[in-house]
Structure 1
Amino acid sequence: MIDFFAQQCALFSKGVDGAVKSKNYYLATLNIGQAFNASVMQGLIGWRCGLMSPVESFKKAVRQLSEGVRTIESFSENNCSKDLPIEKAVVISFLVDLPLPTLRINDLRSDRLLDAVLGNGLCRDWDESAWNTGLAQLKQNKRATLAVKTYTAYNHLRKNEGEDLNELIEHAESFFQNRAKDAFFSGGDETDGGGPDNDITIDYRLAAIMKKIGYNGGSAHRWQWS
């Protein structure tokens, strides 16, 4: 599977080159996003299955996306934040200690807005108003009950207001396991661990929060690399 996603990354990277030459914004963002996801999947699978450190794959993913954004901005005035998973790259960049990509949240909503607030809040100011807006939007989706519970658990863990950390983390871990049979996550990106991808991926958002609060317990989702 790792080899497969490495091939996918190479394929989509070639697609980026062709799209940039023709200044095709939408084709470029499509290929950049897919190349990013393929690199992230390599890291997640290697991590979950104990095959390799995810660090280099994650760093490659963030750098690919950051370089892609700069390239697109050289020929287009469109807001890349709307069409690329920059909010996910921000969370992953925190894990591997890379500079956080610039993210404009104006055009994001629902779970994407929540990811953006979470990512920015790891190293920048927490935007409580935007978080509440994103959560309210997510609640409007009848299939997103598990997602609402998940993001609520993230926020409780992030704030850590005297609650039992181990209990909060156990809740978050159980919500991740439940993605295997959840329609909302099964219809999302592979990197989110929905459907059959649940057994081969890790909750990298939970990992980032645990790193932020300095948790050193025994969770399988805990980041273990400096």
Structure 2
Amino acid sequence: MNPQESLDFFATQLSRSSKGLEVAHASRNLQLAALNTRQMFKGHLMCGLIKWRQGESPVRHFEDAVRVVSESSELLRSWDTSFEPIENLPSSRAALLASLLGSPFESGSPEKADLAADVHLDYLLAEAREAAGSQQARAIVARLLEGKRTSLAGETYQTYFEVLSAQPGSEALTTLVGKAEALFTKRGRDAFFSGGDQTEGGGPDNALVVDYRLGVALKKMGYRGPSIHAWAW
């Protein structure tokens, strides 16, 4: 699909998920509410990423993505105090978007040992804990690098943290940006990313979206270069 066709597709998905969320709220169906929250987040994120790739502002969609996770986190915890948003909702990715927007977001504690590697690393990236979390980040990245299917993901996260540790405005930072861009392009031919969420840029979606995690790292570094992955809003 071309960008407009993809936007139309996800707009339809958002409408369906919104209605599904209304049904879940009316029946206080926690699992259905969590499912539709995840789908709404994905729809808003995908639309925002497509807009970003086209040079248009993704802000409205990103704000909606953060809002739906934040509101659902509060509501579903009020239904069941044992509900863990960090485990059941895309809270870590919402934290990344909130970082781009410069908005507050209560993401909870990411210190659970059983969190998925990408969730843990996304929290570290969102909080820019390259100093306090570097040892933890290195350990998680090392596990990703060891896996044949996850090696590209490991190298990519490693590069994000190298970006955060680089000197702002330095040649080293420019080189790292080029490396990160090349790694993102590789997702188009990588089985792990091609089989994952469309927002990750695997397969044909590589030409539709941008690397918003790189955008987070570059914003934290005050980067003002020409990268399509740099935040401009």
TM-score relative to the length of structure 1: 0.91
Stretch of structure 1 that moved more, 15-24 or 129-138: 129-138
Q: CA 1:7 to 1:157, structure 2 compared with 1: closer, same or farther past 3 Å? A: same
- CA distance in 1 between counterparts of 2:153 and 2:70 reads 27
Moved over 4 A (4+): none
Q: Deviations over 1:27-58 (max 9, x none)?
A: 211110110010011111111123x3111111
Match of 1:112 in 2: 119
Task: Tell me the percent identity.
Answer: 40
Unaligned runs of 5+ in 2: 1-5
Q: Deviations over 1:135-193 (max 9, x none)?
A: 24423532011111101110100111576111000000000000001111112111111
- CA distance in 1 between counterparts of 2:153 and 2:69 reads 25
Unaligned runs of 5+ in 1: none
- CA distance in 2 between counterparts of 1:62 and 1:121 reads 19
Note if 1:130 corresponds to 2:129.
Answer: no
Match of 2:64 in 1: 60
2:102 to 97, 100, 112: 97
**In the TM superposition, what are the counterparts of 1:176-191 in structure 2 within 5 Å?**
176-191=184-199
Match of 2:128 in 1: 121
1:78 to 70, 83, 87: 83
Contact map agreement 2:141 2:155 (CA 8 A) in 1: no
- CA distance in 2 between counterparts of 1:130 and 1:205 reads 18
- CA distance in 2 between counterparts of 1:79 and 1:37 reads 19
Note if 1:46 corresponds to 2:54.
Answer: no
Aligned length: 223
Match of 1:198 in 2: 206
Which AA in structure 2 matches 1:180?
Answer: G
- CA distance in 2 between counterparts of 1:54 and 1:191 reads 13
Contact map agreement 2:145 2:152 (CA 8 A) in 1: no
